[in-house]
Amino acid sequence: MSSDLTRSGKSTELRLRAERVLGGQPAAADLTDPGVHNQRLLHELQVHQIELEMQNEELRESRAHMEAALERSIDLYDFAPVGYFTLSSDGTIRELNLPASRLLGLERARLVGGRFRIFVSAPTRSIFDSWLKEVFSSQSKQSCNLELINQGKSTVPVEMEATLSLDGLEARIVASDITLRKSLEDQLRHAQKMEMIGQLAGGVAHDFNNILGAMLLNLEMALMQQSLSPESQSSLHNLEVLAKRAASLTQQLLLFSRRQAMQPVQLEINAALAHLLKMLERLLGEDITCHRISSPQELWVEADAGMLDQAVMNLCLNARDAMPLGGTLGLETSLVEFTADHAQSDPESRPGKFACIHISDTGCGMDAEVLKHAFEPFFTTKEIGKGTGLGLASAYGVMHQHQGWVTVESIVGQGTSFRLFFPLSANADVSHVETPQKSFEKGKNETILVVEDEAALLFISTRALTMLGYQVLSATNGMEALEIWHQRGDDIDLVVTDMRMPKGLSGLELAEELWKSKPSLKIIIMSGYSLEIAQTSLVGERGYTFLAKPFDIKALSETVKKCLRHPSP
C-alpha cells in the first residue's frame, strides 16, 4: 500500500515539473536570438527528459503489478490443496507444483523431465496408458483413478483430471489424493454388506426360532411326565440343553441382524461389568490374568442388560481363545467425548459423550486381511468345531442396536484391542423395576385364540395352554383367525398371534381388524425379532403384549396371566 502511494506521489511530482517547464517556454519573437534559441532547445530537452521519466515510472508501476500478480499465482500454484502436473504426449513431466511432488515423494527438480508412468503402480498402468492417449485425442476433460507410487508411503490413490492445452502439445492435470474418500467408500460398502447379511441372518433366525420353540415346549411337556424312567429323563434333559444352546446361537444371529427385541433399562457400566466379571473369572481359566480399571465417574447408559453381557462376554471369550498359553485380559471403562472433527474421520462415530468399554488381550493378534472380516458372521480362524463365527458379529449387532459402535485394532504377535462405545444416558434414572416371578398358575377357563403358521409350534402351544387351564381355539393364519372370530368372537378373551404370517395379514394387522369389533380385546404378539413390537412405548399401548420366541411354558403362562389381568386401555 505504501509503495503504491510512493509511486503515485512520484507521478504527481513529475506532472508538476512538466507544467512548470512548459509554463516557462520562451516567446516565439525571441527565437531569432541565438541565446534564446539555445534556451528553447534546452527547454525541450527538459520536457523530453520529464516525459521519459514519467514513462519509466509507468513501466516500473506496471512491472511491480506484474511481479505481485506473479507472486500470487506462484503461491496459488505451489500451495494448492491438489497436485498440478503438465505432461507431454509421451508422458514426460514438463512441470509440477509442490503438492504434486509430495504425492510422488521426490523433490521437484528430480521429477521434471522424467516419465510419469514409472510413478504409476503396476496394476493401474494400463489404465494410465489408455487415459493419456484419450486425453491427447479428445478435446474434452478426461478423468481416471490411479495408484501412484510414493517413495515414502507405498501407494497413494488419486483422481486425475486432465484438459489439453490450446496448442494441443501438453496436458494440464489436476491430481487429488482420495485416500480418505476411498476409506469412507470401503467402510460404506462393508456396512451395506453387513446389513444385507443381517437381513439374511434375521430371516433364518425367524424360522429357527419357530422350530426351536416347538422343540423346547415338547421337551418341557415330556419332562413333566411322572412315569419317565431315569434314562429317559436324562436323555430329554440332554436334548433340552442342546435345544437351548441352539436357541442361544439363534439369539446371536438376531443380535447381529439387530432384530432381537430389546428391553433397555438404565445401567451403570462399572457396576454391570463388576457383576459380569465374577462369571468371567470362572470361564477364563487360571492361565489368564484379568486386569480391570474402572472409570472414576459413573457411566450411565440405556441398554439391554442381557445384550450388554453377551457382547462383552463374546469379546472376552474371543480374547481367551487368542491366548491358549495364557496372558492378560484388560477390561477398562472410561468416559470419552468426540468432537465434530473426529466424527468426520470415522463414519460410525459422532460428536458427543460416550461410555467406552475397552477389552484388550496379549494374544496372537490378527493380520490386516483377517481384520477386514472380523465382524462378518460365520467367519472364524478357529479349527472346525471350535467356533461358530458369530461372537464378534453379534457384538457388532449389539452395538449398532444400541446406537453405538465398536472398533478393533490388532498387531500380529502382540494382541488385539476392542472398544465398545455406548451413548451416555442423558437422564440416568437409577430406579429398578422388580422382575416378576414366573408362575405356573392355572387359568380360569378363559378362551384363547392362538394364531401360528408353524404347525408344530401351534400344536404344542395349544396343548400347553390347555394344560394350564384355558379353552383354546387355533388358526394357521390371519384369514382363518378372522373366520373363527366371526363365529366365536364374543367368547374369546385373548388372542395369541405370531407377528409374521402368510396370506398377507400380519399379527398387527390382525389385531387392528379385531379391535374394530372389540376395542378391549387383549392380544399377545409373538416374534423373534420385531423391533417395532419390542419398543416399550408401544407394548400395552393398544392392549397387546409382546412374547419373545422361543419361549418356555413358564414364560407363556406368565405372559398370558399378565395380559389377562392388565386393565383394558
Q: Name 110's Cβ contacts closer than 8 Å, sequence gap at least 6.
A: none
Residue 391's identity, in one-letter code, is G
Could you read off the pLDDT of 72-87 as tens digits, one per residue?
A: 666 566 777 888 999 9
Question: Cα–chain-centroid distance for residue 338?
Answer: 15
Res 71: pLDDT? 63
Share of the chain above pLDDT 70, in %: 76
Could you read off the pLDDT of 420-456 as tens digits, one per residue?
A: 999 998 765 444 434 444 446 788 899 999 999 888 8
- For strands 544-548 and 522-527, give the pairing: parallel
Question: Cα–chain-centroid distance for residue 287?
Answer: 36
pLDDT (average), residues 27-35: 58
Could you read off the pLDDT of 119-169 as tens digits, one per residue?
A: 999 999 999 999 999 999 887 889 999 999 887 667 899 999 999 988 889
- SS3 sequence, 454-510? CHHHHHHHHHHHHHCCCEEEEECCHHHHHHHHHHHHHHCCEEEEECCCCCCCCHHHH
Cα–Cα distance measured from residue 515 to residue 509, given in angstroms and rounded to the nearest whole number: 10
- Least confident window among 55-69, 166-180, 406-420: 55-69
Res 385: pLDDT? 40
Res 120: pLDDT? 92
Share of the chain above pLDDT 90, in %: 26
Which three cell numbers mark 225? 411326565
pTM of the predicted structure, to 2 decimals: 0.47
Cα–Cα distance measured from residue 152 to residue 119, given in angstroms and rounded to the nearest whole number: 12
Q: Which residues of 347-380 are buried (b: 16+ CB within 10 A; e: fewer)?
A: eebbeeebbbbbbbbbbbbbeeeeeeebbbbeeb
Angle in degrees, CA 228, 229, 232, rounded to 5: 80
Q: Name 454's Cβ contacts closer than 8 Å, sequence gap at least 6.
A: 210, 211, 213, 214, 498
Q: How confident is the model at residue 94 (pLDDT cuts 50, 70, 90)?
A: very high
Backbone angles phi, psi at 119, to 5 degrees: -100, 5
Cα–Cα distance measured from residue 423 to residue 402, given in angstroms and rounded to the nearest whole number: 8
Cα–Cα distance measured from residue 274 to residue 224, given in angstroms and rounded to the nearest whole number: 37
**Distance spanning both ends of the chain, measured CA to CA:** 80
Cα–Cα distance measured from residue 263 to residue 249, given in angstroms and rounded to the nearest whole number: 19
Write down how long the chain is.
569
